[in-house]
Structure formats: structure tokens, C-alpha cells
Structure 1
């Protein structure tokens, strides 16, 4: 069976090139998938389409017939970090890692969730409640001697790219976002292991518990950074609503209160992350996404 990457994955990799490592990964992907399937004694059902933006996902069955997911991740998506985070969570709040010792680098074998059912399928108030509850379970102390990237390190890389933005219309928002980051890092609270890219679509229906998180890009830092991405979920609906700005401010307040996060810190990280995503969208030519994100950031 040919394990070709879905178009969605190819587009995402093309927007943020990873250089020779990513090119090599794509060229070797069919062979790597074959080797992983054979080595783990799996039977492939199908390639998940449209799949993710950072991995090839195969729906498989293990030798005993148990359904599972085989995920092949390029180097630029830090598969070692994802594996380490999932192992540390041990299935609490997140998808369970399977056969960790037998799986080669860059490959993850995971329990099968209902990939077509995320909390986004619920009414907005309920989806926010379930997503927030899932996120809370992930906020644990990082393992001793961990090698996860920190929020300060990740956002410094992002800040460098933001400073390079030459659009004068965006400069005031970039300046505000960078100032918020500097202030937040100067007085950061206790660090926790964070999901890193948490949003409603990253929370899938499961059998052993109602909802579990998938697809982390783990980072260590304060909880408000993780929660900030959730604030702008369904941003297209917020922008389309005449009261979108007021709804956003209420959302910041409610999420901060429900998860014991300081409201101003959540507002600051929400601003930074929205502007960073907007600038990145501009850089790769996704102008409509950039417009939505930057308008949202202006409300903060």
C-alpha cells in the first residue's frame, strides 16, 4: 500500500519549510511507513484524510485486533517532544502512547480516538467547558531534568520573526504584542508542562473518558500561555458577530476565572499569540486568515 502524504500536510509543510530535513522526510515517507507497519505487526485500514498539518496519520490495527493510530512526524514538528509529553501524561487528559519502547524515532503509536468528533461539534458554551476541563488535566509539573522548550525560548524565536514584519499597518500591534511578552516574562508564575497548541479541534471523543487531547507541541511555562490559544477558537464566528469584541473580552474573563489564571496575563498572551499567528499568516500569503487574526488582536 502506498502511504502518500495528504494534500493538507503537503501545503502545511510548504508554508513553513524545514529545509533538507523535511525534504528528506517526505522522500522517505513511503518506505518509513512500510517499515513501521511491518516492524510493529500492524494492519493498515486507511490513511486519515484530510489528516493533520504536521504528520501522516494511518488508522491501523495491532496484532490482537485492537484499533490504533500510527503517526509519522517530520523532524521540524519535534516528535521526540510529543512522545515525551504523552509518556509523562500517561493517558491522563491526553491520548495514550502505545508500545513506546518498540516504536522508532519520528513514529508514534497511539490509542484510537474518534478523529471525526471533536469538542467543536458541541454548542460553543459546552465546547469551551469541555475543552477547558481537558486542558486543566494536562497542567502538571514537568519531569525532572526535562528537555522541553520553554515559553521564553519559543516566543523569542517567534518575536524575531515578528520584528521582521515590514507592514506599517501591523507595526502597532506587533509593538504591543512584544511589549506584553516582555512584561509577562519578567514576572512569570510557576511553570507547568503545557500542550502548546491547544484548541477545540485538538480534543477528540474517546471511549475510556469522554474527551482526550491530541497533537501536543509541548512547552514548559505558565498556564496562561496555553489557555491563550483557546480564547480565539472559532475566530471567524467572533469576527462575524457585531458584538465580537465584547464576546471576546467576556471569554477572557470566564476562562481565566474557571481555570484560576490571572485575567491580565491571559489577555497579554492572547494578544501575543494572535499577532504572532497573524504575522505568520501574512508571511506565507494567507491574507484572509491574517486579517481575521489581526482584527481579533485589535480587540484585546
Structure 2
């Protein structure tokens, strides 16, 4: 099957590999090899697709529909495999194949064009939060998942580098880093988390109405996972004259509905928004950075 990688994926990978990406050049052959190894028939590539992986709609040897997903090693596809295997289809898309080591995953096919984000905002938050709750489980014994402390430590280095280049951001970055230090001092739990959870990561399914996809799993406290959901539809929040008050109510509502400490959720929401804003600046997305940093200022 001849194809061009979706432009959304090409642009996103260019941010993480600005000097070029051999993975993209090898992708057509990698898809053919992964499909042949698993006796899959490729129907089409999902467009616009994701920002860190290629998703192809396929048929298995018995004719059942499935999804073939390939991602560069830097996006930790084997960690995703391990997390999906541990969840066993409860709250998340089901993994249909075992370990292969080539960075390819075969997953149950959901409805890729129907996400929770398509629902009215209040209903979307309710369904997303309910899905997220099912994912918060004890990690497997002897796991090798990244921890919240480790991941945010790497992110903190990038934030400091941006603040050094953009001195006007130093106060906000400093506040976010201080919040991180305080939060890591006494985490209330160490559970397996989705890691990149938001409304668009919850798709309509057949086994369950809604199932999570695309985890970048990490082990830590629940408030870290929930924090990304707080800023969903940030463009709408910024455009609203009452965006700041809506955000504060959202923090309160999500914390109460999922029994998470409100201040811990506020702290991780602040850190993750500032980190995302700093990263957007670093890779040349100033408009995204402006939105995220204004949102962070409300917290």
C-alpha cells in the first residue's frame, strides 16, 4: 500500500526531531512489514490522525476490523503496550496482539471520528472523568513505567531553559516549579495513569460507550492525570469573559467528582499548563503558548 504520512503527524514529529526523522522515511515499509507479520489487510490510514503515531484501519486474518498503530521509539510504544495489557480493555481500548518489539500495536477498532469532545461540554467532562476513573489502578509488580517525578523532572529542565531565554516568563515558571516541588514532597498514591488524558483521547466504542486511547503511561498521583482535563477546550475558555471563573469551578467540580484534593489538582494543572506553554514556545507555536500561559495565570 503506497501512502504519504498525514501532514499533522509530519508537522508534529518535526517539532521533536527538527533535523529530520528517519522513522518517517521508513514508515511505509514499516507498515507493510508490520501488517505482513500479523496477517493484516490495510484498508486506509486514518486522517488527520495523531501527533505522535500513525494509525491505519486494518482487517485481521479472520476479517474482524482492527487498528494498526506505529510510533517512534521516543514516544514509548512498548510502555503503551504494557499499560493496555494491564488494563485489559477496562476503560481503555483493547490490545489484540502480544509483544512484538517493532513498536507496532494491534488494537480493537473504535469509532475514530467520534470522541467525547463531540458532546456538550458538561456531558463531555462527565463521561471523560468516568472513563479516567477506571484507568487508575495499581501498576503491575516490577513495572518499568516512568514516574511523575521523573517525567516532570525532565520537563522542568526544559521550562528553565525557556525562562532563561524569555525572562518575562521567569516568575510564572518559578511558581510552577515551586508547586511541583511541593506536590512531590508527599504524593497521596502511586497508581498507573493514562499520562496524556483529555477529551479527544476518549472514543466511542462497541464494548463500552467510551474508551480511552493513546496513553503515555506514568505512575503517580491521580491529580496529575486529571490536570490535563481541566484545560480542555482552552480556546473556548480564553475567549469567554468568564473563563477564569469557569476554570476555577471546573477544578472544584472535577476534584469533588473524582475525590481528588482540589489544591493538588490546581497545582498540577498550573504546572502542566506552564510546561505545555513553555514547550509550545520552544518549538515555534507562539499562539498556543499565549493561550496556555494566560490560562495558567488564572490558577
Asked whether the two chains share a fold, i.e. TM above 0.5, the reply is: yes
* Corresponding position of 1:187: 186
For the aligned residues, what is the CA RMSD?
1.1
* Corresponding position of 2:28: 30
| TM-fit CA distance, 1:18 | 8.0
The answer to whether the 8 A contact 2:173-2:274 is kept is yes
SS of corresponding position for 1:46: strand
* Corresponding position of 1:151: 148
| TM-fit CA distance, 1:183 | 0.2
Does residue 98 (structure 1) correspond to residue 96 (structure 2)? The answer is yes
Does residue 4 (structure 1) correspond to residue 27 (structure 2)? The answer is no
| TM-fit CA distance, 1:88 | 0.2
The answer to whether the 8 A contact 1:18-1:76 is kept is no
Worse overlay, 122-131 or 22-31: 22-31
Worse overlay, 30-39 or 111-120: 30-39
* Corresponding position of 1:218: 217
Does residue 46 (structure 1) correspond to residue 44 (structure 2)? The answer is yes
Unmatched runs of 5 consecutive residues or more in structure 2: none
SS of corresponding position for 2:67: strand
Q: Distance in 2 between matches of 1:105 and 1:42?
A: 15
How many residue pairs end up in the alignment? 297
| TM-fit CA distance, 1:25 | 1.8
The answer to whether the 8 A contact 1:3-1:29 is kept is no
Instruction: State which of 112, 121, 126 in structure 2 corresponds to 1:124.
Output: 121
* Corresponding position of 2:267: 268
The answer to whether the 8 A contact 1:3-1:33 is kept is no
Per-residue Cα deviation, 1:213-271 (whole angstroms, up to 9, x for no partner): 00000000000000000000000000011000000000000000000100000000000
SS of corresponding position for 1:169: helix
The answer to whether the 8 A contact 1:46-1:58 is kept is yes
Worse overlay, 269-278 or 56-65: 56-65
Unmatched runs of 5 consecutive residues or more in structure 1: none
| TM-fit CA distance, 1:105 | 2.3
The answer to whether the 8 A contact 2:97-2:106 is kept is yes
Q: Distance in 2 between matches of 1:236 and 1:24?
A: 34
Per-residue Cα deviation, 1:257-289 (whole angstroms, up to 9, x for no partner): 000100000000000000000000011111110
TM-score (norm 2): 0.97
| TM-fit CA distance, 1:24 | 2.9
The answer to whether the 8 A contact 2:13-2:21 is kept is no
The answer to whether the 8 A contact 1:118-1:204 is kept is yes
| TM-fit CA distance, 1:145 | 0.3
Q: Distance in 2 between matches of 1:162 and 1:147?
A: 25
